[in-house]
Structure 1
Amino acid sequence: GADSSLLEEIAQDPATVLIRPPLLSVSAVVELAKNNLGADADQAFCVACHRATGGNPLLLAELLRTLRAEAVRPDAAHVDVIQQLGPRAVSRSVLHRLARLSADAVAVARAIAVLGDGAGLPETAVLAGLDEPRVAEVVRVLVGAEILSSAKPICFVHPLVRDAVYHDLASSERTLAHERAARALMDLGAVPDVVAAHLLLVPARAEQWVAELLQAAGSLAGRRGDTDSAVSYLRRALEEPAAVDKRPALLMELGMAEALLNLPEAVEHLREAGEHLDDPQQRAQCSELLVRALIFTRPPQEAVAVAQQARAELPPEYVDQDRVLEALELWAPTFGAPAAPGREARLAALRTGVLAEGPGARMLAAIAALDWALTGGAAAQCVPLALEALSGGVLVSADPILLSGSAVSVLALAEHERTFSVLEQMAVEVRRRSSPFLLSGIYYMQGWAWLARGELAEAADVLRRSGEVALSWSSTASAYTVATFAHVLIEQGDLVGAEDLLGQRGPQMPGSDADTLCQEADVALLVARARWHEALTAVEEYAAGVSPGVVNPAWVPWRSLKAQALEGLGDHDAAVRLLEEELSAARAWGAPRALSHSLRLLGSLLDEREGLDLLREAVQVAEGSPARLEYAKALTALGSALRRARQPTQAREPLRTGFEVATRCGAQPVAEHARAELYATGARPRREAFSGPESLTPSEQRVAELAAAGGSNREIAQQLYVTPKTVEVHLTSTYRKLGISSRAALADALADSRPA
C-alpha cells in the first residue's frame, strides 16, 4: 500500500495542487456501469447504482466489483439486489481503508458513527477518549481517506460508509457507546431530544435522570409538532422507574400524543393516567382525551360511559370542563352510540346561542347548530349559531376537527362564503399539531366542500390524500373519505372506480354517520347504473338507518334517490310524492344546491307546464350559487325538457351553457347528456367551450390569477390546499386554453379577458 508519510510530504509541497473530483453524475455512473457490467445493462439498474452510492467513485467501484463477482444480471428485475449487496461491498472497502489508519482514527470514526452526522468536536472527543485538538487532526486524516466528507459539519462521505463503521462495532459495544454518548451530550448541555435519540438505543437502566430526560424530549417533540418522536421518547420513558407521582402525567402526555396518531394504545395509557391523577382539572382533561380516543377505536358506548362518569366526578366549579364532556357525550351518536334520553330537548335548548366564552360552551353551540340544521332548522337560523360558535378562533384552537367540523358542516350545507376560510383555519391548527389522523379529516372536509361546489378535480385531489392517510389509521375515518370520493367518481363517470373504492371500506358501526354515508354512496352508484330493483332495496335500508328527525336533504337525500329508483321501476306517482316531500324540506332549509336539486328532479317528472316552471326555478336558484355542477344539471334538465316539448330553439342555450359548465366541472356524464340533447335539437356545442378565458374552470382561474400575481407553484398549492402537481396540471391546461406558452404571458392573457 501507499506510504502515508510520503503522501503527507507530497501534500505539504507548495507545488502540489489538490484536486477533489466531484461526485459522478447519473449519466457518468450509467456509462461506467455499462462499461463494467455490459453494454446491455438496464438503464434502471444503472440509475439504481447511482442512487446506492451517491456517485462516489470509490463506492461505485466497490459496488460494481461486487456485482460482477456475484454474477448479478444488470436488469430491472435485479434492482433490489443492489440494496442488498451495496452495504456489503462498501463495508469491505471502508473497513480495509480504516484498518490502515491509526487507532485514534478508528476511535474517532466509530465515535462519529455512533453520534451521527453533525457530531461536534467536544462530544466526539469524549466518546473517542481524546482531546479536541487530536480529534481535529484525525478528522483531517479521515477526510483524506475519503471516509469523512470535507463538508461542515462533520459527516461521512455517504450513509453506507457510516453504516459500515457503525456495524463493525459489536452490538454490546454499540449499546455502551450510545449510553456514553447520551451522558456526554447531557453534560455538554445538548437539547433533550438529541440526548434521547441515543437513550432509545439503550436498555432501561433504572435511572431517574433517563426517565426525566426522555419525558422532556417527548414534551419538546410534541410542542414542535413531531408527534412520532414524542411517542417514541415517552414510551421509552415508561420503561424507566419514574417517580410514582410523575407517572400519571407521563401516561397522560403519552396518551395524548398517541391519540393524535389514533393509536389504540392511547386508550389504556389515558385510562391508567386518569385512575391516578389527583387534580380534578387534569382528570377532566384526561377523560376528554380518553373519550376522543375511544370514539375512533372502540364501540362509542364506552366513550359515553367515560364522559358520564367524568362529569359525575367533576367538582361543580369546573363549569366549562363539564360542558366539554357534555358536548362529546351529545356528539357520540354521530358514531353510532344510542341517543340518551333528553338529548333532543337539551340540543334544542342550546339553540339560543353560546352560553359563555370557554371552548366547552362553543362546542355545545356547534353541535346544537348542526343538529338544528339536520332536523328542520333553516339555514338562516343555523348559520348564525355556527358562526357564533366559531368566533374568535377559540373552538378551532381547542378542537380543530370534531366539533369545529360540526360548525363548519353547517356552513358547507348552507353554501356559506366563509366555509373555506374556516377550513383553512382548521388546517393551520391541524398542521401545527402534526397529526396525520387529524390531517386526513381536514382533507376529507375540504373534499366534501369541493364536491358540493362541483369542483371535482379539487375534490379528488384532497380526498385521495385523505384516503392515503386514513386507511392507515381508522376504518371509521376512511369510510367518510371513501364514501365522498365515490360520489366524486360517480359524477366523473368512473363507475367502476367508485365500485372498487366502496369495496375497500371496513365495517362500520350501524347507525353511525360513516355507515349512512357509505350506504348513500352505494345507492347513488346503483342509481347511476340504472339497477333499479337493487337500488330500491338498498335505499330502503339506507333510509331506515337515518336518525329519526333528520330531514335535511342536503345531508341525507334518501327521498330523491328512492324516487329515482321508483320512477325507474314505473311507480311514477310514488316517485312524485317523495320528491314533493323532499322539495318541501329543501325549501325549509333554504340553501341553493339542495333546493335546485329537488326542483330539478321533480320538474323532470311533472307534465310540461308545471315541470318547466320548476326547472326554470331550479336554474334560477343555482345560477348565483357556488354549486356549479348542480347549475349544469339544472340547465341540462331544462334544455332536455324544452327539446321534448318541441321547443328546440329555446332548448339550445341552456343545453350549450350546461354542456360548458359540466365540462369545466369535469362531470363527463352530464356533459355527454347535454351534448346528446344539443345534437338532438340540430345544434352543435360551441367551440369556445374548449378555448379562451371563458373555458377556464374555476380552479384553473384561481390558479392562473395567483400565478399571474407572482406565486410559485408551491405557494399556490399551500394557499389552495392542493398539491404542486395539481397546480402544474391546471397551469398546463390554462396555457393551452389561452394559447400561451409561459407564466409570463398569464397576466396579459387574463387582463385581455376582462371587460374594460
Structure 2
Amino acid sequence: MVRTDHDTALTELMGLFEDCRAGHGGLALITGGLASGKTRLLNRFCAHAREAGALLLTATGSRAERALRAGVIDQLFHGAGLPPAVADRMSRVVSPRADEESGSDARTMRQGCAMMVHEVCSAVLELSRERPVVLGIDDVQFADSSSLQFILYLRKRMASARVLIALTEWEQPQPTLPVFHAEITRRQHHRIGLAPLSEAGIAALLPDRPDLAPVWHRVSGGNPMLVQAMADDLAAGITADDERAGPAYGRAVLACLHRWEPYLLDVARAVAVLGDERDRELVARLAGTTPDVADRAERILTGAGLLTDGGFRHAAAAAAVLAAMPVAQRSTMHTVAAELRYQRGAAASTVAAHLLAADRVVAGWSVPVLLDAAEQAMTGDDAAGAVRLLELALRDGDQRLEVTKALVRALWWTNPSAAAAHIGPLHAAMWVGELRGRDAVTLVRHALWTGDQDTALRALGMLADAPEPLDPQSAAELRMIAQWFHGRGPVAAAAEALSAEGDDPWTATARTLGAIWTGQADGATVAAAELILSNSWPGHTAPEMVATALLILAHGGGTERAAEWCERLAADAARRGAPTWQAMVEGVRADIALRRGEAVAAAARAEAAMGLLLPQGWGVSIGYPLSILIAANTVLGRHAVVEQLMRLRVPEAMFDTLCGLRYLHARGRALMATGRVLAAISDFQNCGRRMRAWGVDLPALVPWRTHLAEANLLLGRPDVADRHLSEQLRMPGCDKRTRGESLRLLAAAREPAHRSALLREAVECLRDCGDRAGLARAMADLGAATPGGEPARAIADWADPVLSESERRVAELAATGHTNREIGRALYITVSTVEQHLTRVYRKLGVTGRADLPHRLASAPVR
C-alpha cells in the first residue's frame, strides 16, 4: 500500500465525496499507525463535507464500549443535524434490540439484530435521497459486532446511493478484524494509508521556524501528535531538540500510550525501566508477556515514532513514562529488572542502577553488587554516585563494616562533614586491629581534620606496632597529612616513623618533601614536589599531600609554575566531581595569588574554595582559606568585610594546627590595619610562641616577625623592629618574598643613609619572586629614600625583556604558528592563561603580534 501525506489524503476523500454527490456510494478506509493523524484527517474531511451540504453522522469506537451492542449505531443517530422524526424512530429501533446477541461472525446475524440493521440501513438510504450522507466512524477496530454488521450490510446496498462511509482503523502487524476486512475488501473500496509527517511536512507546519524540522523529525518520528505537542511547547518558550523537550511533549507521549492497548503501555514501561541495554526476552519478562508480543509491541511503538532501534527516540519520552508510573510499580519493576540482570551476569553498575532506582535492597546478593558498583563509580570519578549506592547498601546488615569503610572513603571526597556520622565503626575496627591501608589513612585523616590528635596518635601507634607494615603510598600519605596539619609535632613524628626507612619511591619522595619543615628545601625538594603532582589525581592521592607539594613548588620553583599546576589540578578535580580535593587546590591558588600581590584574585579564589565545602566540612582546615580571605581583604582595605570574616566561628582545635597559625597571622594583620596594634602584636607573638614550640619556626611558612616588626614601627620602636627583622633574615627557609619584605621594613627601621642599599635588594627579591604589590611598595620607598634616579632605574630594570620559563614556552609555540587553543592543550593550561602569557611577552619584547616573535625570541633572555 502506498503511503500518502495528510493533504493528499484529504484531497482523495473530497474526490470520493464528489462521487458520492453524483450518486456513487463509496467506502474509504483510512489506516495508519498509532497517533498517525487518522482522527485529525477524518475530522477535517467531515468538516468539509458538512460545509458542502452533507448530512454528517459520526461515531467513535471505544475499547471500553466494545461489548455494548449497537453502540456505534447509537452514536450515529444521536448527532446534530438529524431530522427529529428519524432520530426518534432510530431510538425506538436500536434501543430494544441493542442487547441482543448478533453472533461473533461478522458475516452472520441473528434475527433480531438483522431486523435492526435492516431498518437502520433503510433509514440511511432514505436520508440520502434528500442530500448526501457521510458516515464518519473513528477507530473502527473498537466497534461492536452489531455495528460492524451494519457497516457491511449498508456497504452492499449503497452502490448507487449518495452515501459515503469513512472509517479510520489502527494498523497493526496482525489485523484485529480479519473477517470484517475480508468482507470489506470483496467490494470496491478506497484504502488510504497515512504516512508519518516528513521533514518537509513538519517544516510546513513551522513557517517561522523551518530550521527546527530536521531535529523535530528525529524526535517525533513524524508522529503528528508529538509534533503538535512540540509546537505547543515552542509557543510557551521551550524549544525541543535532541537534548530536551517540554512538558507538552511528555504529556503527548503518555496520551498516546494510554489511548492504546494495555500491553503496549506495559512494554513501553519495560523499555523505559531497562534503558539502553536490553533484548526482547528481557523486555517480555519485565512486561509480563511473551517475546512475540513484546516484539510486536516494539514494532508498533516504533511505527508510532516513540521508539527507534528498540529504545525511546528521546530521553524525555522515557522520563515521562517513568514519572507517570505509580511509585510502587516502578520500584517493583526496577527490582525485578535488577534480579533478571543479576541472573544474567550483567555488570554490577547496571544491576546497581536498578536497585538505586527501586530504592530497595534485595537480601542475599545485592550488597556485594552495590559495593562493586560503588568501587567502579569511584574509579570513574563519580564519588557522589558511589555515596548513593553505599548509603543504599548500608540499609542491609550484610558486610556492614565493608560498606561503612567504602562510604566514609567516598564521602571524604564530596562532603567530609557527612563522613563523621559513619566514622564510629571504623574506630571500633581500628582498636581491634581490623583496619589497614587506605582505610587506616582515612581514619587518621578524619581525626586530624577534626582536630582529634589523641585518636590520631593512638591509631598511628597501633599501625606502628602492627605485624605487617603499611604499604608505602599509605605510609607516605599519612606522613604528609600529619605534616600538613602539625609540621613537626608529635603526630607528625609518629606518622614519619611509619615511613622512616626504605628506598621505595613513595617513601623517598615523602622524606625529601619533609625537608621543607626544617628550612632545608632545595632543588631536590622542588623536583620531588613535581613528581608528586605528576602522579596525583582525585580519589588516588590525599589532597593535603598535593597542597604541600604545590606550596613547595611556589616557594622554591616559582609561583607561575605552581599556579599552572593549580589551574590544571583544580580543573581535573572539578571534572572528576571531587569538591574536597578541588577546595584544597583552590585554597593554594588563592595563597599563590596573595604571594604574587594579586589581592583581588586571592580573595575571589579563597572565597570560591570556602564555597566548595560547608564550613563544618572544612574541619580545622578552615583556617587556611579563611586566613587568605582575611589577608586579601585587609590588603584591599575592605575592613567591614574583614570584621565579618573574623566573627565566623572556627573550631578551637584549629589553633593547635598550622592552619591556626596562618589564621592568627592574618587576624593580626587585619587588627593592625585598623589601628588595633597591641591586639595585633598579641596575635603575632602567640603565633611565634607556637611555631617555636612546635619546631616549625620557618619564615616562609608564616612570617610572623615581619608584621611584628611592622607593628613595632607603628609604635615608634624601630630598634625592636630591627632586631626581629635581622633575626628573620638570618634564619633558614627565608624565601625571596619574605626576604624582600623584611628588607623593605628593615630599611624603614634604619637610618636614611642605609636605606637605599636595603631597598634596592628588596626590589630585586620582590621582582624575582613575582610579588607585584610588594615590589610596588619597595619601589615607592626607594623613590622616597633617593629622589631623582633610583626609582626610575628600578622601574626600568623591572621592564627589562626577561621572559619567565612559562612565557618562553608559550612564545615559542606561538612563534611556530600554533593557535592559543593548541598551545593550551600542549602545555595543559587554559586559553585564558595563554593569552595572559602572550600579553606579557608582547610587552616585554616590545612587539605587537606573533609575526615579530621569531626574531625577538632569539635575543630575549630567560629568567
Q: Give the TM-score normalised by the residue count of structure 1.
A: 0.70
Q: State the distance in 2 between where 1:277 and 1:598 align.
A: 48
Q: Which residue of 1 aligns with 2:705?
A: 559
Q: State the distance in 2 between where 1:258 and 1:140 align.
A: 45
Alignment match of 2:402 (pick from 245, 249, 258): 249
CA displacement at 1:193 relative to structure 2: 1.0
Q: Which amino acid aligns with 1:104?
A: Y
Report if aligned partners of 1:559, 1:582 keep a CA contact under 8 Å in 2: yes
The secondary structure found in structure 1 opposite 2:696 is coil
Q: State the distance in 1 between where 2:738 and 2:424 align.
A: 44
Q: Which residue of 2 aligns with 1:207?
A: 363
Alignment match of 1:180 (pick from 327, 336, 341): 336
Q: Which residue of 2 aligns with 1:21?
A: 202
The secondary structure found in structure 1 opposite 2:202 is coil
Q: Which amino acid aligns with 1:110?
A: R
Once the two structures are superposed, the pairs formed by residues 494-533 of structure 1 within 5 Å of their partners are 506-507=650-651, 509-529=654-674, 532-533=677-678
Q: Which residue of 1 aligns with 2:582?
A: 439
Once the two structures are superposed, the pairs formed by residues 192-203 of structure 1 within 5 Å of their partners are 192-202=348-358
Matched, 1:384 2:520: no
Q: Which residue of 2 aligns with 1:220?
A: 376
The secondary structure found in structure 2 opposite 1:651 is helix
CA displacement at 1:335 relative to structure 2: 3.9
CA separation of 1:320 and 1:105: change in aligned 2, threshold 3 A? closer
Q: State the distance in 1 between where 2:410 and 2:393 align.
A: 14
Q: State the distance in 1 between where 2:751 and 2:851 align.
A: 50
Report if aligned partners of 1:301, 1:337 keep a CA contact under 8 Å in 2: no
Q: Which residue of 2 aligns with 1:301?
A: 454
Q: Which amino acid aligns with 1:551?
A: D
Report if aligned partners of 2:298, 2:310 keep a CA contact under 8 Å in 1: no
Q: Which residue of 1 aligns with 2:324?
A: 168
The secondary structure found in structure 1 opposite 2:436 is helix
CA displacement at 1:225 relative to structure 2: 2.2
Q: Which residue of 1 aligns with 2:425?
A: 272
Alignment match of 1:98 (pick from 220, 243, 257): 257
Q: Which residue of 1 aligns with 2:752?
A: 608
CA separation of 1:505 and 1:133: change in aligned 2, threshold 3 A? farther
Q: Which residue of 2 aligns with 1:112?
A: 271
Matched, 1:240 2:396: yes
Report if aligned partners of 2:486, 2:658 keep a CA contact under 8 Å in 1: yes
The secondary structure found in structure 2 opposite 1:555 is coil
Q: State the distance in 1 between where 2:625 and 2:232 align.
A: 49
Q: Which residue of 2 aligns with 1:716?
A: 824
Once the two structures are superposed, the pairs formed by residues 718-737 of structure 1 within 5 Å of their partners are 719=827, 726-727=832-833, 730=836
CA separation of 1:653 and 1:754: change in aligned 2, threshold 3 A? same
CA displacement at 1:178 relative to structure 2: 0.8
Matched, 1:569 2:715: yes
Report if aligned partners of 1:321, 1:360 keep a CA contact under 8 Å in 2: no
Q: State the distance in 2 between where 1:540 and 1:20 align.
A: 82
Report if aligned partners of 1:511, 1:546 keep a CA contact under 8 Å in 2: no
Residues 128-161 of structure 1: CA distance to partner in whole angstroms, max 9, x if unpaired?
A: 245566545544544565545x5x67235452x4
The secondary structure found in structure 1 opposite 2:365 is helix
Report if aligned partners of 1:288, 1:307 keep a CA contact under 8 Å in 2: no
CA displacement at 1:750 relative to structure 2: 4.1
Percent identity, please: 24
CA displacement at 1:190 relative to structure 2: 3.0
Q: State the distance in 2 between where 1:266 and 1:642 align.
A: 60
CA separation of 1:491 and 1:718: change in aligned 2, threshold 3 A? farther
Report if aligned partners of 2:479, 2:510 keep a CA contact under 8 Å in 1: no
CA displacement at 1:177 relative to structure 2: 0.9
CA displacement at 1:400 relative to structure 2: 4.2
CA displacement at 1:433 relative to structure 2: 7.3
CA displacement at 1:291 relative to structure 2: 0.8
CA displacement at 1:447 relative to structure 2: 3.5
CA separation of 1:748 and 1:408: change in aligned 2, threshold 3 A? same
Report if aligned partners of 1:105, 1:142 keep a CA contact under 8 Å in 2: yes
- In structure 1, runs of 5+ residues without a counterpart are 32-55, 68-73, 80-85, 662-693
Q: State the distance in 1 between where 2:837 and 2:293 align.
A: 57
Return the structure number with greater relative CO, CA threshold 8 A, min gap 6.
2
Q: Which amino acid aligns with 1:522?
A: R
Alignment match of 1:127 (pick from 280, 286, 293): 286
Residues 599-621 of structure 1: CA distance to partner in whole angstroms, max 9, x if unpaired?
A: 11111332222111111222334
Q: State the distance in 1 between where 2:368 and 2:230 align.
A: 45
The secondary structure found in structure 2 opposite 1:21 is helix
CA displacement at 1:700 relative to structure 2: 8.4
Once the two structures are superposed, the pairs formed by residues 542-691 of structure 1 within 5 Å of their partners are 542-548=687-693, 549-585=695-731, 588-589=732-733, 591-643=735-787, 648-655=788-795
Q: Which residue of 1 aligns with 2:850?
A: 747
Report if aligned partners of 1:222, 1:257 keep a CA contact under 8 Å in 2: yes
Q: Which residue of 1 aligns with 2:4?
A: none
Q: Which amino acid aligns with 2:387?
A: V
CA displacement at 1:695 relative to structure 2: 12
The 10-residue stretch of structure 1 (509-518 or 403-412) with the greater mean CA deviation from structure 2: 403-412
The secondary structure found in structure 2 opposite 1:539 is helix
The secondary structure found in structure 2 opposite 1:560 is helix
Residues 289-329 of structure 1: CA distance to partner in whole angstroms, max 9, x if unpaired?
A: 211122224533322222223433x01xx345599669847
Report if aligned partners of 1:707, 1:713 keep a CA contact under 8 Å in 2: no
CA separation of 1:462 and 1:392: change in aligned 2, threshold 3 A? closer
Residues 241-296 of structure 1: CA distance to partner in whole angstroms, max 9, x if unpaired?
A: 43xxx544343333322233343454565652575599968535432221112222
Q: Which residue of 2 aligns with 1:412?
A: 554
CA separation of 1:121 and 1:448: change in aligned 2, threshold 3 A? farther
Once the two structures are superposed, the pairs formed by residues 364-383 of structure 1 within 5 Å of their partners are 365=511, 368-373=514-519, 378-380=520-522
Q: Which amino acid aligns with 2:460?
A: A
Q: State the distance in 1 between where 2:351 and 2:204 align.
A: 33
Q: Which residue of 1 aligns with 2:347?
A: 191
Report if aligned partners of 2:820, 2:834 keep a CA contact under 8 Å in 1: no
CA displacement at 1:224 relative to structure 2: 1.9
The secondary structure found in structure 2 opposite 1:589 is coil
CA separation of 1:570 and 1:308: change in aligned 2, threshold 3 A? same
Q: Give the RMSD, CA atoms, in angstroms.
A: 5.1
Q: Which residue of 2 aligns with 1:448?
A: 591
CA displacement at 1:212 relative to structure 2: 2.1
Q: State the distance in 2 between where 1:464 and 1:707 align.
A: 34
Residues 607-665 of structure 1: CA distance to partner in whole angstroms, max 9, x if unpaired?
A: 2221111112223344444555544443333223212xxxx23433325666x79xxxx
* Structure having the higher Rg: 2
Alignment match of 1:355 (pick from 493, 501, 509): 501
Q: State the distance in 1 between where 2:739 and 2:524 align.
A: 20
Q: Which residue of 1 aligns with 2:543?
A: 401
- The structure where helix makes up a greater share of residues is 1
CA displacement at 1:557 relative to structure 2: 1.5
Q: State the distance in 2 between where 1:546 and 1:278 align.
A: 32
CA separation of 1:715 and 1:696: change in aligned 2, threshold 3 A? closer
Q: Which amino acid aligns with 1:98?
A: L
CA separation of 1:329 and 1:410: change in aligned 2, threshold 3 A? closer
Report if aligned partners of 2:411, 2:419 keep a CA contact under 8 Å in 1: yes
Matched, 1:340 2:490: yes
Q: State the distance in 2 between where 1:337 and 1:615 align.
A: 33
Q: Which amino acid aligns with 1:112?
A: V
CA displacement at 1:564 relative to structure 2: 1.7
The secondary structure found in structure 2 opposite 1:474 is helix
Alignment match of 2:620 (pick from 476, 488, 494): 476
Report if aligned partners of 2:253, 2:320 keep a CA contact under 8 Å in 1: yes
CA displacement at 1:209 relative to structure 2: 1.7
Q: State the distance in 1 between where 2:204 and 2:665 align.
A: 57
Q: Which residue of 2 aligns with 1:290?
A: 443
Q: Which amino acid aligns with 1:294?
A: A
